[in-house]
Amino acid sequence: MNFQVTVLKILVSYPDGFAAMADLKRDMAILATSGPDWSDRTKRLAARVPDLEIFSQNLVERENGGWKITAKGRAALNFMEARSGATQVMERGPTEKVVDTPVPVLPQPAERAKRRRERRERRREARERVRANASQVAGRDV
């Protein structure tokens, strides 16, 4: 698994491109144990940008308690994922001034929002079952 590509992919999935360190670590652990598909995918993407350095190239910034993807980072990720550029390799150019223009927040896909609601509902139901079981156990002890 390519760490730097994974960081870019995780950050781009968060609103405003910012993720707290705890969230990054959790997502990284999930992807690292997800099997060879993710590892193969990140290796393919990283091959398109062989000299990828997310911090020295200003693709990711450290902010209070987390990391944030920059507009340049989004552009690099788009380049890596572009189908037409499969044979091209992005070269590290001289330090060029990059103007960070605000990137509009993309709406979350409906399916992802639906899964999130379902997970919330399952957690709520599980909490209610635990409370009900605890009150039954407490009632028997009396």
Cα 100 from chain centroid (whole Å): 20
Using the structure block, give the residue that is written with the tokens 């990284």. Answer: 28
- Split into its structural domains, the chain has a count of 2
Q: In the prediction, which pLDDT does 139 show?
A: 72
Q: Mark whether 37 and 81 lie in a shared domain.
A: yes
Q: In the prediction, which pLDDT does 66 show?
A: 92
Q: In the prediction, which pLDDT does 85 show?
A: 46
Q: In the prediction, which pLDDT does 87 show?
A: 47
State which residues form the domain around 85.
1-92
The answer to the question of residue 78 being in a domain is yes
Q: Mark whether 69 and 116 lie in a shared domain.
A: no
Band of the pLDDT at 86, cuts 50, 70, 90?
very low
Indicate if the pLDDT at residue 128 is higher than 60.
yes
Closest CA to 9 of 33, 36, 43: 43
Going across the sheet that includes 66-69, the strands are 18-20, 66-69, 60-63
Tell me how far apart the alpha carbons of residues 41 and 27 are, in angstroms, rounded to a whole number: 16
The answer to the question of residue 101 being in a domain is no
Q: Mark whether 10 and 79 lie in a shared domain.
A: yes
Q: Mark whether 25 and 84 lie in a shared domain.
A: yes
β 18-20/60-63 pair status: unpaired
Query: For a pLDDT cut of 90, what percent of the chain falls above it?
Result: 27
For the chain, the residue count is: 142
Indicate if the pLDDT at residue 48 is higher than 80.
yes
Q: In the prediction, which pLDDT does 69 show?
A: 93
The answer to the question of residue 140 being in a domain is yes
Mean pLDDT of the chain: 80
Query: For a pLDDT cut of 70, what percent of the chain falls above it?
Result: 79
Q: Mark whether 115 and 87 lie in a shared domain.
A: no
Q: Mark whether 35 and 84 lie in a shared domain.
A: yes
Beta carbons of 59 and 76 less than 8 angstroms apart: yes
Q: Mark whether 83 and 113 lie in a shared domain.
A: no
Q: Give the CATH number of the domain where residue 19 resides.
A: 1.10.10
Beta carbons of 100 and 70 less than 8 angstroms apart: yes
